[in-house]
Amino acid sequence: MKPHIKLFTVIAGLSFLSFQSCSDSFLELKPRGTDLEENYYKNSQEAYNGLVAIYDIVGYQAANYTTKILAASAASDDHYAGGGGSSDQPQIQAWSDYSLTPAVGPQEDLWQRNYMGIMRANVLLQKLPDIQMDEQQKRRFTAESKALRAYFYFDLIRYFRNIPLIQEPLAGDAIYQVLQAAPADVYALMEKDLTEAIPDLPLTVSLQKEAGRFSQGTAKAILGKVYLQQEKFTQAAAELADVNGTPGQSSPYGYRLLDNYGDIFQVDNKFNSESILEISFTNTSIGDWPCIQCTEGNILNIMIGPRSYGQGAGAPDYVAGWGFLPVTENLADAMRNDPRYPYTIIDMNKLVAEGKASYTPGYMDTGYFLEKYAGRESNRWTGVGTYELNFPQNLYEIRLADTYLLEAEALVRGGGDATRAAALLNAVRARVGLGSVAATFENIKRERRLELAGEGHRWFDLVRWGDAAEALSNRGFVAGKHEVLPIPLLELDNTLLEQNKEYGGTK
C-alpha cells in the first residue's frame, strides 16, 4: 500500500532530488544532494532550479499510476477503465463507474499533484524578489511561476470546486488552518496571474534549449480556457484568437496545424508547430518499480496496450500492455468512417480476425484500444531502467486544433463572429480531408470528440457543456453530484477543510 501524503506535507521543504530531467526539453538539470528551502535561492542558478521543480510537477505520475489523462479518460464516455479486473487500480475504476467515495477514487493523487506545483510556485515567487540576478530573467521566472500556478489551480477548480486558495508558503500551525475559498476568488487569481505573466513571457521559446517552457501563447491559451470555463465567451474568444491567428495559417506565436494528422502522434515529432503545451518524456530514464513516480518515461504507453499482445506478420509492433482505457463501442462507431480513425483507435477485433495478431481480453474489453499513445517495441528502453516505465512519447496538454475548436465554441455560444467560427472549425476538418459544415454548437462538440479523442479532454468538455449526465448515465453518473470529485478523505483529517455537499459534506 502506498503511503498517504497530505497536501500540507509537501510544504515543509523542497528536495531537488525529485526532478524529472527530460533530455529533449529544458528540464535537463541533474542536481546532487538535498537542499532545504530555507538555505536555498541565493543566486540565479538556484532560482532556475526552483523553476525546474515547478515544471517537474506538470508531468507528475503517481506511484499508483494515476495520471490526469488516464483518470479523466476512464471517467468519460470514450473509454472504460479496463485493466486486468474490477479491482485493478481501484482509484481509476471508481471514477469510471462512478462509485466514487471520499476514500476511493483518483482524487488524492490529483489533489496532491496540483498542490505540490502550487507550493513550489509560491516558494519561488516569495524568494525571487531578494535574489541577486538579471532583472529581465527575474521577470520571466516570476511570469512562469504565476502562469504555472494558474495552470495547477485550473485543474483543481474543475476537479473539486471548493479548494483552498494558497498564495504564499505556509508554515507551522497555519497549514492546518487553511479554509476553502469561493470559486470566484480562485478564478480571479488565475486571471490575475495569467494577465500579469503574459507580458513578461517570451513570444516563442527555443526548441533546442527551452522546449516545454511557457511562452505568451501558452499562457494566453490557458487564460482562454479559464474564461471559457466561466462562460466569459467574449474574453475567451479574444485570448484564443491571439493564440490561433488566421485559421489554417501560422499564428503570431508560430503555431500552425500540421499537414498530416497522423504526424501529430509520431514519437519523434516532439514540440512541433501544433504544440502549445506539451509534457516531455524520455526512454533514457533509470525509472524502476521502487519509485514509479521518479521515472521520466511515459507510463501511459504501457498501461493502454492490449494485454498479452502477440504480433504476427503484417501487424503493428505494439508492446503487450495492461489493457487500460479500452475504447468504447460508442466512440469506435462514431469514428468508423472518419479519416482520423486509424490514428486514434487500434481495432484488435480486425487484427485477430485477419490472423495478424492476438491478445488476451481484459476487463470491460471491447476489442478497441487507443492508438495515439500505445507503446511500441521500437520505442521501448532496454537499458538500466525497467522498460515498462520508460517510454519516450510526449503528451499534449494543449495543441492548436484544441484551441481552434475552443475559440469556435466561445464565438458560437457568445454570439460572436460566426464566419470566423466556421473558418476555425473547418480548418480542423480540412486538415483530414473533410468538407465544410456549419459552425453550430453541436458540430463543434462532435468535432472536439473526434479530433481530440483519447487526449484527456472529453470528460471536462461534457461537464462544461452540461452533457455529462446524458452521456454517462449508463455508467452511474448522477447529475448534480458527479460533476465534481470528493475532497480527499485524508485532507479532512485535523484541518478545517469541508467535504463537498455532493459527498455528504456541507461545502
Q: Are 489 and 497 in contact (CB under 8 A)?
A: no
What is the band of 174 on the pLDDT scale with cuts at 50, 70, 90? confident
**CA gap 106, 163 in Å, rounded:** 16
Average pLDDT over residues 388-411: 97
Q: Average of pLDDT values for 31-44?
A: 68
Non-local (6+) Cβ contacts of 382 within 8 A are: none
Q: DSSP H helical segments within 417-506, as ranges?
A: 418-431, 441-451, 458-465, 468-472
What pLDDT digit, counting tens, does each position of 477-504 carry? 999 999 999 999 999 998 999 999 999 9
At 37, the pLDDT band (50, 70, 90 cuts) reads low
pLDDT digits (tens, 9 = 90+) for 423-465: 999 999 999 999 999 999 999 999 999 999 999 999 999 999 9
Q: Is the pLDDT of residue 27 over 70?
A: no
pLDDT at 15 over 60: no
Domain ranges of the chain: 8-271+397-503, 289-393
**C-beta separation of 184 from 134 below 8 A:** no
The three grid cell numbers given for residue 244, joined into one nine-digit string: 490561433
Q: Rounded mean pLDDT of the chain?
A: 92
Whether 3 shows a pLDDT value over 70: the answer reads no
Q: Which three cell numbers stand for residue 87?
A: 479491482
- Sorted by sequence, the CB contacts under 8 Å of residue 476 that are 6+ apart come out as 97, 98, 99, 482
Which whole number is the average pLDDT over 293-301? Answer: 92
Contacts with 346 (C-beta within 8 Å, 6 or more apart), sequence order: 306, 316, 318, 368, 369, 370, 371, 374
Tell me the mean pLDDT in the region 168-192.
93
Which range (21-35, 60-74, 206-220, 356-370) has the least confidence?
Answer: 21-35
The CATH architecture annotation of domain 8-271+397-503 reads Alpha Horseshoe (1.25)
CA 57 to chain centre: 11
pLDDT tier, 30 (very low <50, low <70, confident <90, very high otherwise):
very low
Judged against a pLDDT cut of 60, whether residue 11 lies above it is answered with no
* 230-239, 305-314, 368-377, 384-393: the lowest-pLDDT one: 384-393
pLDDT for res 176:
87
For residues 176-184, average pLDDT: 95
Which residues 6+ apart lie within 8 Å of 100 measured at CB? Answer: 94, 107, 482, 485, 486, 503
Asked whether residue 400 carries a pLDDT value surpassing 80, the answer given is yes
Burial label, 242 (beta-carbon count in 10 A; 0-12, 13-18, 19+): buried
Q: Residue 384's pLDDT band (boundaries 50, 70, 90)? A: confident
**Pairing state between β 368-370 and 357-358:** unpaired
Please state the rounded mean pLDDT for residues 284-304. Answer: 90
pLDDT at 245 over 80: yes
